[in-house]
A and B are shown apart, each in its own frame.
Chain A
């Protein structure tokens, strides 16, 4: 266990009026009296706003004058003011981990606005819990690391290329790792690009050429990442090219491995009927020039928006609408019918396609279309009729699906993936573009099916976050982490298996036996490993068992 044993000493309780927000619903005078009775090692004081400049000055003065070892600020939330208050207390010598916030505002005053007596008793109990937590807290120091000034980008599709170029433009050296012999990703197989109807492959080729020509970008094609060690600021990425491996150091990593286009084997005759192709194959057909196929039936949502894959892949409807317009521009007498389940994705050119003569029919997923030898038969929901549409070609719009090996790679990076295999962020709405490991960012369809413009926005966004991180020189993190007691650990590796962030790794200890060691900069402090460890060798530094027992004791006390 790291850190010394807690020094139970003097604790200061700082009650905050929060203007009148707390002082109104809670009787702070009574609270103060009750808490003072806790003992001689406890001092209590009240101020309108502890978070104000004046309040913090008073806090520091009180710590120094009374020689406090721990601080409990009973005011608002840890999330909004935890750092501010801990920093103020630290300036006067109280360890950051020994400053505890008790959220009287949101957890008591605001929820019990009209029950002063009960609210005051509850507040007293809450503060006593805070005191227990603070008194038993291990003094911890922030974990710091030097930052290596370069970046690795994994995947050379439009997202990876954009990220690499944006980083290089800021003077950051980049190693770009692409598995295929060529850069460009999916776009190499796309004909025209919506919304501009420019040449997609040329767009990808130009971008690739500029990337290769940029001397700040070291492009490694036909290469894969076999391992990622280290943490934000100093990663070691093992890159394999033609059987040869090399360790590349980097301060930060951008994952841009894209997605696969789903192959609908066995659906709607795909694989057995040669007149059935996928939309991405149709892109190549269009590039070559449509031969004599005139009657084209397109089927949407093939393999998407179903129980197994409950999502809309967005780009397939875009591709379909774009391709109907592309066909009709060159072959105005083509007859195109699109069978949809309703457009979840809205495509700006839908009306243009309709005006050009494309027929849109709606099918019911319970009664899907049948591709027979002579015609596609479908029950049209709008007219409530079964219709037969003769065809020369059937085009299936299949979704983007997560690449199987991205999940494995994500694991090495300490990035969780969701049940569909897309990379998951801690909160899609509140913390977009932010990921659990501090040095890893994600762009493009590896995160979720994305259009080219979205891939680029995300790539630029990732690049600006990488640049911000690398620009810091050193990084510091709160030590809210798990640590292994090396004497108790038996090296079974259960924690290594359990951790979604790849923080624990088995290493050889001093006497040659295997033990687990947790990388403090990878650990997010979730505690999953503690539960699986059969030897109880792991402790969460900011919540030791003793602390928890004391907290429970304080909570249970009458």
Chain B
């Protein structure tokens, strides 16, 4: 991998870092096997290179491998296609793509991660300087009649988590979280929020951001109405994090169409009250975010539930 001459944007790090054309999806990815990105590999483009083949002592690199289709005969299918995050570019008031230091929650997750492109330091895109003042913009695209009129459910809590991580990595970090109704309903979430406020100095501001302007030194400036004081105010920060709406995975509707599974208008798989794992098609079950916004513990509970329903069917008791 080290010798591969081709560098491309790393999709695992949501384009924030670089990887080679032969790569490991990410450090803890399973299976832990190298892959060649056919679209970017020099050999596939020009017919020359094969540096990696020469380097590999085990002879594991095989340029002849082809994708192949397999047909599986199964008794049950579990849909667990999860989520994708909304591209915030159409939310022009936030300036994503235009103002360099406006990023998404997922991008922040990569920056603050020790195995991420910046080794866990919150270096902002414009100049690689450490961002101390961070503004989190909640409901970017969610609870918004023009985009997703539902609540994505997980962003309030992950923003609090991210702001806490920010402070852990940098004692000078100060985060403001601009929220609609702060959604902190899960087990001990309110206590977590209070801890964020008291121990990590997070400032919670109730109010929707009207606009983000491109301020001096590439600093984003947030304009908002504080619904508590009813005053229009602005705040200059080093970095803005958009808690972008979470949508069903990109091909969820297409996949549902192929399988004949009913989805709601957003593309989330429909299940009914009485049997929360079952879809309208016998033998097809669903769990996790593809059914609707939910966090990790709930995804796990639903997954066990779907596995339980599917195995009962496969074992022939139903």
In the bound complex, CA of A384 to CA of B227 (Å): 10
Which residues A441-477 have CB closer than 8 A to chain B? 447-448, 452-454, 456-461, 463-465, 467
Interface centre among A198, A344, A384, A454 (most CB of B within 10 A): A344
Determine whether the beta carbon of A203 is less than 8 Å from that of B317: no
User: Does A381 reach chain B (CB closer than 8 Å)?
Assistant: yes
Q: How far is the CB of A548 from chain B (nearest CB, A)?
A: 31
Stretch at the interface among A37-45, A221-229, A307-315, A513-521: A307-315
A residues in contact with B194, CB < 8 Å:
310
Taking a contact as CB atoms closer than 8 A, the residue among B182, B230, B274, B304 that contacts A465 in the complex is B304
In the bound complex, CA of A428 to CA of B227 (Å): 33
In the bound complex, CA of A203 to CA of B307 (Å): 24
Determine whether the beta carbon of A381 is less than 8 Å from that of B228: yes
Which residues A153-208 have CB closer than 8 A to chain B? 166, 169-171, 193, 195-196, 198, 203
Taking a contact as CB atoms closer than 8 A, the residue among B153, B190, B206, B297 that contacts A305 in the complex is B190
Taking a contact as CB atoms closer than 8 A, the residue among A170, A314, A351, A464 that contacts B317 in the complex is A170
Determine whether the beta carbon of B227 is less than 8 Å from that of A382: yes
In the bound complex, CA of A228 to CA of B85 (Å): 48
Determine whether the beta carbon of A311 is less than 8 Å from that of B296: no
A residues in contact with B296, CB < 8 Å:
429, 432
Determine whether the beta carbon of A448 is less than 8 Å from that of B184: no
Which residues B189-215 have CB closer than 8 A to chain A? 189-191, 194, 206
B residues in contact with A433, CB < 8 Å:
297, 300-301, 304
Q: How far is the CB of B159 from chain A (nearest CB, A)?
A: 15
Interface size, A (range): 35 or more
Determine whether the beta carbon of A312 is less than 8 Å from that of B190: yes
User: Does B298 reach chain A (CB closer than 8 Å)?
Assistant: yes
B residues in contact with A312, CB < 8 Å:
184-185, 189-190
Name B292's closest neighbour in chain A (CB-CB).
A348
Taking a contact as CB atoms closer than 8 A, the residue among B149, B150, B188, B302 that contacts A428 in the complex is B188
User: Does B254 reach chain A (CB closer than 8 Å)?
Assistant: no
B residues in contact with A314, CB < 8 Å:
185
B residues in contact with A454, CB < 8 Å:
298, 301
Taking a contact as CB atoms closer than 8 A, the residue among A195, A351, A463 that contacts B308 in the complex is A463
User: Does B133 reach chain A (CB closer than 8 Å)?
Assistant: no
User: Does B187 reach chain A (CB closer than 8 Å)?
Assistant: yes
Determine whether the beta carbon of A198 is less than 8 Å from that of B304: no
B residues in contact with A193, CB < 8 Å:
273
In the bound complex, CA of A461 to CA of B309 (Å): 9
User: Does B173 reach chain A (CB closer than 8 Å)?
Assistant: no
Which residues B260-318 have CB closer than 8 A to chain A? 272-277, 296-298, 300-309, 311-312, 315, 317-318
- Interface contacts beyond A346-B150, A467-B308: sample of 15 additional A-B pairs, CB < 8 Å, sorted by A: A196-B272, A196-B273, A198-B273, A310-B191, A311-B189, A312-B184, A344-B182, A418-B188, A432-B301, A433-B301, A457-B305, A460-B305, A460-B309, A461-B302, A461-B305
A sample of 22 cross-chain residue pairs with beta-carbon separation below 8 angstroms, ordered by A number, consists of A170-B311, A170-B315, A195-B273, A198-B273, A203-B273, A311-B190, A312-B185, A342-B182, A344-B182, A344-B185, A345-B185, A346-B143, A351-B149, A381-B227, A382-B227, A418-B188, A429-B297, A432-B296, A457-B304, A459-B305, A460-B306, A467-B308
